[in-house]
């Protein structure tokens, strides 16, 4: 367990993974991280599909035209869906669950990447959400927010440079117009 601030500095999106499998206990703890995440009114509208089957990972990697190749490289992908009829904050709730999983993965020294599904489209124009619902049998009322890919890192990314954080986006006390 690295110091939490160090963990945030070192977390970068990883899109290439080795073939090494992930320890099943770590997979369980990554899912627990999602299940422990806070949600509006504690409705917990999310559900997760854990995919390790190579053929299915390859199929899911074609859910949209671009930026989904990390799914085919990963030994594990967790599809984050939520019941849109249960909560008007399903996107926020599902986002928090997704990020909790990414942070837990980082804590294990694993790499991860968020692959956006909602409002994205395949090369044939089909909504990526429909494609993923169809591939995995997810009911219609579930929005599919994203797919979190996880695996042992097969690429090096530089840590975030704390010297380069966008402090101009932070307003102390009241909004200051920074255009002037």
Ligand X SMILES: Cc1cc2nc3c(=O)[nH]c(=O)nc-3n(C[C@H](O)[C@H](O)[C@H](O)COP(=O)(O)O)c2cc1C
Contact stretch for ligand X (CB under 6 A) within 2-10, 11-19, 85-93, 164-172: 11-19
Cα–Cα distance, 73 to 17 (Å, whole number): 6
Task: Mark 73-112 with x for binding to ligand X (rule: CB under 6 A) and - for no binding.
Answer: ----------------------------------------
15 counts as binding ligand X under rule CB under 6 A: yes
By the rule CB under 6 A, 10 interacts with ligand X: no
Scanning 9-17, 75-83, 131-139, 172-180 for contacts with ligand X by CB under 6 A, the matching segment is 9-17
Tokens of 143: 């929005």
Tokens of 127: 């909504």
Decide: is 4 part of the binding site for ligand X (CB under 6 A).
Answer: no
Please give the Cα distance from 98 to 112 (Å, whole number): 10
3 state SS of 147: strand
**Of residues 22, 51, 63, 115, which one binds ligand X by CB under 6 A?**
115
Of 24 and 125, the one with the shorter C-beta distance to ligand X is 125
Q: Which is nearer to ligand X, 12 or 153 (CB)?
A: 12
Token pair for 145: 């927010």
Q: Does 40 bind ligand X (CB under 6 A)?
A: no
Q: Is 51 helix (H, G, I), strand (E, B) or coil?
A: strand
Tokens, residue 160:
């975030």
Q: Is 13 in the site for ligand X (CB under 6 A)?
A: yes
Distances (CA, A) of 122 to 11, 18, 54, 126: 28, 26, 20, 5
If binding is defined by CB under 6 A, does position 113 make contact with ligand X? yes
One of 37, 70, 104, 106 touching ligand X (CB under 6 A): 70
Of the candidates 23, 35, 58, 67, which one interacts with ligand X according to CB under 6 A? Answer: 67
Instruction: Provide DSSP, 100-163.
Output: HHHHHHHHTT-EEEEEE-TT-B-TTS-BHHHHHHHHHT--TTEEEEEEEEEESB-S--PPP-GG
Binding site for ligand X (CB under 6 A): 12-13, 15, 67, 70, 113-116, 157
């Amino acid at each position: 367990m690295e110091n939490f601030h160090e963990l945030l500095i070192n977390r970068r999106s990883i899109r290439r993974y080795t073939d090494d499998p992930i320890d099943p206990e770590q997979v369980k703890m990554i899912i627990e991280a999602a299940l422990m995440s806070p949600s509006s009114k504690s409705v917990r509208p999310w559900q997760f599909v854990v995919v390790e089957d190579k053929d299915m990972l390859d199929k899911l990697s074609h859910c949209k035209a671009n930026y989904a190749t990390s799914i085919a490289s990963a030994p594990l992908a967790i599809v984050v869906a939520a019941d849109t009829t249960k909560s008007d904050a399903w996107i926020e709730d599902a986002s928090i669950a997704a990020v909790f999983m990414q942070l837990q993965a980082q804590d294990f020294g694993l790499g991860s990447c968020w692959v956006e599904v909602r409002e994205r489209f395949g090369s044939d124009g089909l909504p990526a959400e429909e494609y993923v619902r169809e591939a995995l049998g997810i009911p219609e009322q579930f929005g599919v927010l994203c797919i979190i890919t996880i695996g042992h890192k097969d690429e090096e990314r530089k840590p975030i440079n704390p010297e380069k954080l966008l402090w101009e986006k932070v307003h102390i006390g009241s909004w200051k117009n920074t255009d002037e």
